[in-house]
């Protein structure tokens, strides 16, 4: 029976580094082995292409030998390709089985510690939100200073044009009108996003819940 690959849709390799040591080791192993599985699949594809070429060359060699009235040559290249393919398949299936086992372990750990870890993340989320809020307040202050200094530069160069403090625009954020969004609007939207109500949990917790829910549904 081939290894179960349903765990791939859980995307455990995308779960960020967890704060719990019990979960850190299996997730780190899962990320590493996901890369190993990808490399093994690429090698298997390469070997399969090599075998097809070896089979084609072997057929031509047989045809040439029989035309010349000579014995059928040994299928050395094909046999070597078959051995390499068998070993590559064995390695890939082993890594896939290891990934499936790790996914089961992660699901078990999340189930056992769900309440405890959820509480940890709610508290951590509020701490992270306040940190982001403070950093954003500092950014707003820095942007205001940049706006004023830029206005001074323009005014000193041409005072007859009057004082003009341009808010600045974010070219990458285009409105429906096609105009870029002004920087203060971007900062205001971020301030609303990081506002104290409601406190938003970090990305790690929903991903872990999603992994568990999908696993149980499967």
In this structure, are residues 110 and 208 in contact, taking their beta carbons and an 8 Å threshold? yes
Rounded to whole angstroms, how far apart are CA atoms 50 and 75? 14
- 161: pLDDT strictly greater than 80: no
Buried b (16+ CB within 10 A) or exposed e, 71-99: eeeebebbeebeebbeebeebbeebbebb
- 215: pLDDT strictly greater than 60: no
What pLDDT score was predicted for residue 59? 96
**Stretch 73-101: mean pLDDT:** 95
What pLDDT score was predicted for residue 198? 52
pLDDT band at 197 (very low <50, low <70, confident <90, very high): low
Could you say which DSSP state residue 12 is in?
G
What pLDDT score was predicted for residue 1? 61
Cα distances from 118 to residues 14, 85, 169, 212, in angstroms, run 19, 45, 39, 13
Rounded to whole angstroms, how far apart are CA atoms 18 and 25? 9
Rounded to whole angstroms, how far apart are CA atoms 211 and 15? 9
Cut 0.75: pTM above it? no
CA dihedral 160, 163, 164, 167 (to 10 degrees): 160
The 10s digit of each residue's pLDDT in 121-142 is: 888 888 888 898 888 889 888 8
The 10s digit of each residue's pLDDT in 44-82 is: 999 999 999 999 999 999 999 999 999 999 999 999 999
pLDDT band at 186 (very low <50, low <70, confident <90, very high): confident
In this structure, are residues 23 and 112 in contact, taking their beta carbons and an 8 Å threshold? no
């Amino acid at each position: 029976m081939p290894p179960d690959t349903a765990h791939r849709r859980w995307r455990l390799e995308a779960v960020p580094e967890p704060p719990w040591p019990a979960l850190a080791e299996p997730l780190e192993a899962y990320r590493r082995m996901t890369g190993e599985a990808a490399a093994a699949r690429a090698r298997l594809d390469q070997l399969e292409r090599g075998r097809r070429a070896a089979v084609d060359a072997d057929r031509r060699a047989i045809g040439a030998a029989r035309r010349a009235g000579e014995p059928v040559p040994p299928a050395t290249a094909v046999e070597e390709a078959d051995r390499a393919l068998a070993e590559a398949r064995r390695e890939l299936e082993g890594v896939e089985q290891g990934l499936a086992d790790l996914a089961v372990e992660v699901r078990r750990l999340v189930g056992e510690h769900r309440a405890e870890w959820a509480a940890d993340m709610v508290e951590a989320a509020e701490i992270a939100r306040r940190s982001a809020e403070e950093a954003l307040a500092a950014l707003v202050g820095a942007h205001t200073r940049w706006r004023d200094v830029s206005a001074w530069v323009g005014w000193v160069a041409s005072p007859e044009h009057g004082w003009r403090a341009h808010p600045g625009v974010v070219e990458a954020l285009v409105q429906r009108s096609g105009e870029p969004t002004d920087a203060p609007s971007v900062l205001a939207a971020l301030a609303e996003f990081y506002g104290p109500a409601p406190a938003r949990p970090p990305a790690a917790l929903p991903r872990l819940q999603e992994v568990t829910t999908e696993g149980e549904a499967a």
